[in-house]
Amino acid sequence: MRSMFGQQFDMPDGYLNTASIGMPPVAVAEAVVEAVRSWRAGSGRAGEFDEPVALARAAFAQLVGVGVERVAIGSSASALIGLVAASLPDGCRVLVARDEFTSVSFPFAAQAGRGVTVTEVELAELPERASEADLVAVSVVQSADGALVDLDALRAATAGTGTRVLLDATQAVGWLPLSLSWADAVVAAGYKWLLCPRGVAWLAVSEELRRSMVPHAANWYAGEDRWASIYGLPLRLAGDARQLDTSPAWFCHVGAAAALPWLASLDLNQVRAHCVGLANELRVGLGGEPSNSAIAVVDRPGAAERLSEAGLSVSTRRGAARLAFYLYNTEADVKRALDTLA
């Protein structure tokens, strides 16, 4: 059991795979277990889940720096990005980073039949190439290697222009302080750095973008008064981003309501310093240079296999070992990885 940042974590030593799946605090897991117990006993009621949805929605808004009225809920990042992609006018030009995570690029590439084109450029070139596109879609932190997009440069390049910006913050929100109200859309899945059960995601959209979007998944939960929107026409959706909601996966939101408010209460500059500091200890220990990411990549033959055989949990991306350091990791995890790779 580890005690970090005011929470207990019942996790194995050497867990360095948050970029794939986050480890929940004990309190988060217990909240989900209790909800399942209520379901098992037949005592759960649908309306009881409105509060967890609202709590997690508000905390997500705080974590990315937007008003809560801009936030919609969904089940995955790609499904929410798909709503944006499906609402683009015919013939739109979309710019993405080369080798971007496909949940960001595929929804736009799937619109090719309407003349939507998707162009890949190097991550560092995105700001200077932004004027060539109607929309730039990029991960704040790249999944494969932890590289960060230059948000300041991208914001400056698109300010006052017709180019919209969609940011996938899945690999960033939770460890990286964010203030993204300037972006047209910000999406994130919850099961990595937000430490939620898989099956919950959020999309923050600007008012201008929301007005241009079609709520293709319109349903009772997206109603202005959801419990009075269960039967019959006319269409009566919420007047803000809730009109893009899909009906929530209840137990996932119970976990999110326990995890996100706690994360939003932390000093994220301190969290970033902790996570990036551990990642830099690994980089320097292996003879490399410090960086600004909580994700470190070890591109050595057999690195991932050696780490796995030594009992460390890591992942493999593009042939390299990917190690992700989060608030529950310690210097002991770094030392164990360095000793294994020595």
* Res 217 pLDDT > 90: yes
Q: What is the pLDDT of residues 221-230, one digit of tens each?
A: 999 999 999 9
Tell me the pLDDT of the chain averaged across its residues.
Answer: 97
How much is the average pLDDT of 97-119? 98
Residue 236: CB atoms within 10 Å: 15
Buried b (16+ CB within 10 A) or exposed e, 175-201: bbebebebbbbbbbbbbbbbbbbbbbb
To the question of pTM greater than 0.85 for the whole model, the response is yes
Asked whether the beta carbons of 257 and 280 are under 8 A apart, the reply is: no
- Nearest Cα to Cα of residue 20 among 260, 273, 308: 308
How much is the average pLDDT of 128-156? 98
d(CA 8, CA 22): 14
- Nearest Cα to Cα of residue 142 among 120, 159, 164: 120
Token duo for residue 137: 């879609």
d(CA 25, CA 253): 15
Q: What is the pLDDT of residues 23-49, one digit of tens each?
A: 999 999 999 999 999 999 999 899 999
d(CA 237, CA 226): 8
Q: What is the pLDDT of residues 170-205, one digit of tens each?
A: 999 999 999 999 999 999 999 999 999 999 999 999
In the numeric block, the tokens 């971007």 are attached to 100
pLDDT of residue 34: 97
Q: How many residues does the chain have?
A: 342
d(CA 254, CA 27): 11
Token duo for residue 242: 């809730």
Asked whether the beta carbons of 74 and 103 are under 8 A apart, the reply is: no
pLDDT of residue 310: 95
pLDDT of residue 44: 85
pLDDT of residue 24: 98
Q: What is the pLDDT of residues 46-80, one digit of tens each?
A: 999 999 999 999 999 999 999 999 999 999 999 99
d(CA 301, CA 293): 22
pLDDT of residue 225: 96
Q: Which domains does the chain have, with CATH numbers?
A: 2-24+267-341 (3.90.1150.10), 46-264 (3.40.640.10)
Token duo for residue 15: 């867990």
d(CA 197, CA 191): 5
d(CA 182, CA 180): 5
Helices (H), 42-194: 50-64, 77-86, 102-109, 126-129, 151-158
Asked whether the beta carbons of 320 and 297 are under 8 A apart, the reply is: yes
Residue 216: pLDDT band with limits 50, 70, 90: very high
Q: What is the pLDDT of residues 305-338, one digit of tens each?
A: 999 999 999 999 999 999 999 999 999 999 999 9
- Please give the distance of CA 234 from its chain centroid, rounded to a whole number: 34
Three-state DSSP at 137 gives strand
Residue 258: pLDDT band with limits 50, 70, 90: very high
